[in-house]
């Protein structure tokens, strides 16, 4: 009889112990998804802006990225507002100065009737030069 009571007591103790171990810990809601925020929040991406102002050197021979907004500079057949600032012939080939509009390099010019003119193949600047947006690259690159 004593043995039976002891066995019963032991088995109750074991059951209690097992139940204690099996108690589920609540899962932290913030670790449930790959999002860095709570699933109940709407993550707001950083506002997109063209006027990034940052300028990362492009590789040698590549068209430089445009570090400013260009919404107000519409290029038409008759008029190219970019030349107003980037067409200073006296500065062709001059070193870049931060904050100043670099003059288009010699490759962009041609001679018409003995005078320098912007080469027709360079008239549509945006074929080659793209604006730089204020966003971080999704994936890093070593190039
Ligand atoms: C009102 C003057 C102005 C106009 C118009 C303008 N830019 Fe600029 N641009 C600047 C200035 C100033 C900088 C230099 C900004 C800096 O260094 O932060 C610049 C920088 C650039 C650069 C980078 C050059 C470098 O030194 O690496 C490119 C490319 C460029 N602009 C292209 C264009 C194109 C294409 C247009 C027309 C759609 C245009 N820009 C219109 C003033 C102007
Ligand atoms: C066919 C492609 C093409 C077109 C169109 C073009 N560019 Fe470029 N641009 C380039 C390349 C490539 C470079 C760099 C290599 C070089 O010197 O030619 C460059 C260089 C420049 C630079 C010097 C940037 C630096 O880092 O020194 C300026 C400023 C510039 N371009 C402005 C303009 C403007 C303004 C127009 C429109 C009137 C224009 N480009 C049209 C391809 C182009």
Ligand 2 centroid to 108 CA: how many Å?
A: 7
Got the DSSP string for the chain?
-HHHHHHHHHHHHHHHHHHHHHPPPPPPGGGSSSSSS-TTS---PPPP-S-----PPPPTTSPPPB-S--TT----SS--HHHHHH--GGGTTPPP-TTSPPPPPGGGEEEETTEEEE-GGGSSGGGT--BPPS---SS----
Q: What average pLDDT does range 98-116 have in this prediction?
A: 94
Inform me whether the pLDDT recorded for 127 exceeds 90. yes
Instruction: Name the more confident of 69 and 105.
Output: 105
114 Cα to the center of ligand 2, angstroms: 22
Any ligand 1 atom below 6 A from CB of 101? yes
Record the pTM. Answer: 0.75
Q: What is the pLDDT of residues 10-52, one digit of tens each?
A: 566 555 555 555 678 888 877 776 766 777 777 776 666 666 5
Give pLDDT, residue 6. 57
127 lines ligand 1 (CB under 6 A): no
């Amino acid at each position: 009889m004593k043995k039976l009571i002891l066995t019963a007591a032991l088995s109750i103790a074991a059951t209690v112990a097992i139940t204690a171990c099996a108690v589920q810990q609540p899962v932290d809601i913030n670790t449930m998804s790959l999002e860095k925020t709570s699933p109940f929040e709407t993550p707001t991406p950083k506002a997109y802006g063209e006027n990034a102002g940052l300028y990362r050197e492009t590789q040698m021979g590549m068209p430089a990225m445009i570090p400013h907004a260009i919404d107000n500079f519409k290029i038409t057949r008759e008029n190219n507002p970019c030349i107003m600032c980037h067409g200073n012939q006296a500065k062709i080939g001059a070193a870049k100065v931060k904050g100043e509009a670099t003059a288009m390099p010699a490759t962009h010019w041609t001679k018409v009737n003995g005078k320098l003119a912007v080469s027709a193949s360079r008239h549509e600047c945006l074929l080659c030069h793209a604006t730089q947006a204020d966003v971080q690259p999704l994936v890093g690159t070593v190039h």
